[in-house]
Structure 1
Amino acid sequence: MKTFVINLDRAPERLAKISAALDGCGLPFQRVTAVDARTMPDAERARRVCGEGYWGWMTPGEVACFLSHRMCWQMLVDSDAPHALVLEDDVVLGRDAAAVLGRCDWVPAEADVVKLETNFDPVIVGRQEIVVVPGRSVRRLHSSHYGTGAYIVSRTAARRLLPLTERFIDAVDETLFSTRSAISRSLGKYQLSPAACVQPHKLSATIPVHDPGGSIEGREDKHMRRDPLVRRLVADVRNDVRKAGNAVACLAGTRRRIEVPFQ
């Protein structure tokens, strides 16, 4: 399995920190030079963004972040590895993370992406539990769960994602891990629990669970778009139907509502 760490040239302190953490786990990695929003041409942003997303127009930071993740997918496709571990450079590793991050033989065959982090909000997962190592397991993820700080993606999924994301309207975490996203709904998504990774701003109880600001420049100034009434109603109804389906499945015992801890 390939391990990619996304890091800006102007953030050497982040690289030093994640390098020390991964070296301590005995995990070799390849640094991926992140696309820098500060130097990204306006023309590139205009070429990539094809409309206004759920949270409004994408910021330069979100576009740069998406392009950085696409670079990782392309590098995986160009390799002969079956999977890649993709890490953002500010991620915090949990106890004994190497037991999970250092191998991919536990990844379910039908998994396109496995989310390795948590933002501590409730999620809906499948009833079937697959033990990864003692104390950690994976389940099918059936609800939204934001963040792309740490995940495993299969080479097959990366090959599918690249043409689907030549242009985009939402941030990469919205695209991969929100049930509002058609791309997300087409993926076989799994959740590791307890999570082996977390982004540092999620460790503070004073920060909202879904923090649009995060560590992406300019994201804190975003406002959800004001759609026409009919479009909002249709979107709300679709979202409510998905939530109702999950609620029924939980009552039937085929799915569970959990809060994913970090350790």
Structure 2
Amino acid sequence: MTTAPSDAVTVLPLSGRRLAVYLINMAGADARLTAMQAKLAALDLPFTRIEGVDGRALRFPIPEFDERAYRLLHGRRTTPPEVGCYLSHVACARALLAGDADLALVLEDDVSFDPDLVAVVDRAALNGDAWNLLRLTSVNRGRKHAIRDLGPGRRLAIALTREKGAGAYVIDRRAAEWIVTDLLPMRLAWDIAFDLEFLSGLRAAFVDPLPGSQRSDHPTQIQAGLRAYKLGRSRYLTVLPYRAWLEVARLACRGARLLRERLRRRGRDVAAAGPDAGPGQQA
């Protein structure tokens, strides 16, 4: 199996489900592409390159971007690099829906991986009922609450607080549909927006510990200069209440799901212990 960028999507069989791998890479970012080719070749993982959208080349207004909502909810003026990043991820969801794969591993071109990445995603695919969106990286360090065991040293987990970072994740076709419908037009930065799956009845889970990292030797192509786009202090009048509501909703929705998962696991443990097991055996 070779690892190379291609216009034809290579699909990898994975525990009965078909996985496509999409690498977002901007035109001219050749050093990043070369580095990612080497990393993915080491995993024997074929991929399809998705050319990143250059937000600075866009001519606003565009239908995929809601400038008014972005100002009110995100507190920034139109930020072309963030718009380009957002639409690049949307392009990956569209690519999944246009093909016949069941899942897509979406990668930014500045991530690195543990050697067991493919095996971890394979085992997570066997627990597909627990997620539509599988998070493999984060730039936050919030607590992850375990819900399923994934084998040596890894767990599926739920985060009850906001987790930013979209360097590597897996989506199923339902999540892809959500991205191209509910998440357009753009109103927030990508790594905030795709952390809101619970508002649409979808399930997200982390692999814990994370098998990927967003630490990179390459300079950022998005974050540089973002301060210049921030609105004045008046932005807090709309941004803070909105963010507070999101945190409450996240805690309520994901907390209820965490409780259901733990009750289900407890029920399985009790059933496995058998009707004649004593209290000590069922604990």
Q: Do both proteins adopt the same fold according to a TM-score greater than 0.5, normalized to the shorter chain?
A: yes
Q: d(CA) in 1 for partners of 2:75 and 2:221?
A: 16
Aligned partner letter, 2:199: R
Change (3 A) 1:71 1:111: same
1:18 partner SS = helix
Check the 8 A contact 1:114/1:191 in 2, yes or no: yes
SS of the residue corresponding to residue 128 of structure 2 reads: coil
In the TM superposition, what is the alpha-carbon distance from 1:224 to its structure 2 partner? 6.2
1:27 maps to which residue? 45
2:81 to 57, 61, 77: 61
Secondary structure of residue in 2 paired with 1:42: coil
1:58·1:169 contact (CA, 8 Å) conserved in 2?
no
Distance 2:139 2:240 in 1: 28
Q: 1:139 and 1:103, CA in 2 relative to 1: closer, same or farther beyond 3 A?
A: closer
CA contact 1:175–1:184 (8 Å) conserved in 2: no
Q: How many residues align?
A: 235
CA gap of 1:3–1:102, structure 2 versus 1, over 3 A, is: farther
2:149 aligned to which of 118, 130, 135: 130
Matched, 1:189 2:204: yes
Residues 143/106 of structure 1: CA separation in 2 closer, same or farther (3 Å cut): farther
TM-score normalised by structure 2 residue count: 0.71
Alignment match, 2:228: 221
Q: Would the alpha carbon gap of residues 20 and 234 (structure 1) be closer, same or farther in structure 2, given more than 3 Å must change?
A: closer
Question: RMSD over aligned Cα, in angstroms?
Answer: 3.2
Provide the residue aligned with 1:71 in structure 2: 91
Pick aligned residue for 2:162 from 144, 151, 154: 144
Deviates more, 1:110-119 or 1:100-109: 100-109
AA in 1 matched with 2:189: A
What is the CA deviation profile of residues 44-95 of structure 1, one whole-angstrom value per residue up to 9, with x for unaligned ones?
Answer: 3x75234213242341000001110111000101111111000000111123
Distance 1:185 1:240 in 2: 11
Contact 2:144 2:206 in 1 (8 A): no
> What TM-score do you get using the length of structure 1 for normalisation?
0.76
Unaligned runs of 5+ in 2: 1-18, 263-283
Higher helix share: 2
Deviation, structure 1 residue 118? 2.5
Equivalent position of 2:133 in the other structure: 113
The 8 Å contact of residues 57 and 169 in structure 1, kept in 2 or not, is answered as no
Are residues 108 and 218 of structure 1, via their aligned partners in 2, closer, same or farther at CA, if it must alter by over 3 Å? same
Cα distance change, pair 55–92 in 1 and its aligned pair in 2 (3 A): farther
Alignment of 1:165-204 (within 5 A): 165-177=183-195, 181=196, 183-186=197-200, 187-200=202-215
In the TM superposition, what is the alpha-carbon distance from 1:137 to its structure 2 partner? 1.4
1:170-204: CA deviation from partner (whole Å, max 9, x where unpaired): 11111011xxx4x5533311011111111125x9x
Q: Which is bigger in relative contact order (C-alpha 8 A, separation at least 6)?
A: 1
- Between the aligned partners of 1:89 and 1:75, the Cα distance in structure 2 is 17
**% identity of equivalent residues:** 27
Matched, 1:48 2:48: no
User: What is the SS of the residue equivalent to 1:38?
Assistant: helix
What amino acid sits opposite 2:230 in the alignment?
Answer: H
Show the counterpart of 1:80.
100
User: SS of the counterpart of 2:85?
Assistant: helix
